[in-house]
Amino acid sequence: MGERHTLQIIPRLTSVQEALDFISEWGAHYGLDEDAIYHCHLSVDEIITNVVEHGFEFDENAGFIRIEMEPMEGGVLIEVVDNAPLFNPLMHPTPDPSLPLLERENGGWGIHFVRKFMNSVTYHSTGGMNHLRMLKSTAPEA
């Protein structure tokens, strides 16, 4: 366990880059390689986008999103915290990649990518806030 670093952003799509820069900086500091940082970028991008679109419904004055990073044994913990209405994105059904074009509906792929790219993903709520915790291993992937 190490020191936790926190970035708070306004819930809008143009804030995503700020979060990605924060992850680049601390991810590299904590030993994530380029591929691992890319996986963290895509995952955090997908989560923030979901929270902005569906949680806050594009109302940038409705609350905040916080990104927290902390080194763990063998990896890095990234936690996205927001005060949008409580919603567990992990309860969203995984879309079916075998569906033909015309049967496909928009949505659901972002959290699917998060599950695939991060080593563990868990959700809990506390104090009226959503917490999505993700662990990314510092070990190179096979």
Partner 1 sequence: MNIQATNAGQITVLQASGRIDSMNAQQLADTFNAQISAGQTQLVLDLAGVDYMSSAGLRELVNALKKLKKVAGDLRLAQPSKRVREVMEMAGLDTIFLIFETSAEAIDSF
Dihedral, CA of residue 70, residue 73, residue 74 and residue 75, to nearest 10? -10
Output the CA torsion 133→42→116→70 (10° steps): -30
Q: Which is nearer to partner 1, 1 or 102 (CB)?
A: 102
Shortest spacing between CB 45 and partner 1, in angstroms: 5
CB of 49 to partner 1, least distance (A): 4
Which is closer to partner 1, CB of 16 or CB of 84? Answer: 16
Binding site for partner 1 (CB under 8 A): 13-14, 16-17, 38, 41-42, 45-46, 49, 52-53, 95-102, 104, 106-107, 109-110, 112-113, 116
Closer to partner 1 by CB, 24 or 70: give it. 24
> Using an 8 Å Cβ cutoff, are 135 and 80 in contact?
no
* Nearest approach, Cβ of residue 95 and partner 1 (Å): 8
- 95-129 b/e (C-beta count within 10 Å ≥ 16 → b): eeeeeeeeeeeeeeebbeebeebbbebeeeeeeee
User: What's the min distance (Å) between Cβ of 77 and partner 1?
Assistant: 22
Nearer to partner 1, 71 or 80 (CB): 80
